Structure 1
Amino acid sequence: MCNYTILLHPQASYTGLFLHQYDAVQQVIHQKRKKSLEEIRQDLCPVVGEMREIVSKDNHSLSSNSFLLDDDMSIPFSAEDIDMAIPAVDADDIELPAFLCEYPCAQFLVSHE
């Protein structure tokens, strides 16, 4: 159990509010190292549990409109299309900023002709 040092202040209502919120936090994280992932998911994080259920239902359905980074065959372009759309850049054609050329540790970046 935690010991509190309460400072008397003209605005004691703030102190009471703080202690109430602090107690709530202590209740939530009490013995969190001893809790299993399943206990945390069910007891402490009901929203995460609901999201996990929704995602697992979406993954099992055939018409999934998932926002996750899964392979989605309904996207009208492929990774190869994206790769071909990006222009090829030769690293030798890029000039380093002047301030970077001054550092000896960055000399390996400077092209030697």
Structure 2
Amino acid sequence: MDKKQSLDALAALSQETRLDVFRLLVQVGRQGLPAGEIGERLGVRQNTMSANLAILTQAGLIHSVREGRSIRYFANMDGVSGLLGFLMENCCGGAPELCQPVIAKLTCAC
């Protein structure tokens, strides 16, 4: 992930509803949630939720799969890993490979 992508991801997460959506999708894991259920759980109207889901998708933090007339959303753990990797790329005295186990553990990549 480069600087611009990281800024887009951080900007997407800097809004309360989008942060709540992202955290909910991380919590439910691989099963994801349909857009309507995300809105219901968070008490957010459908049109507002659609806009927020689009911003999170564009930032690479979530992805979706169409299921008939519904769309199911998932946290994009590769995007999260990329963001964490960018933020920590100069950690550990310039030896980022030392941080990789931490990043892998945080993003369920282990």
- What's the TM-score bracket when you normalise by the shorter of the two chains? under 0.3
Structure 1 or 2, whichever has the larger Rg, is 1
Which structure is higher in RCO with an 8 Å CA cutoff and minimum separation 6?
Answer: 2
Higher strand share: 2
Higher helix share: 2
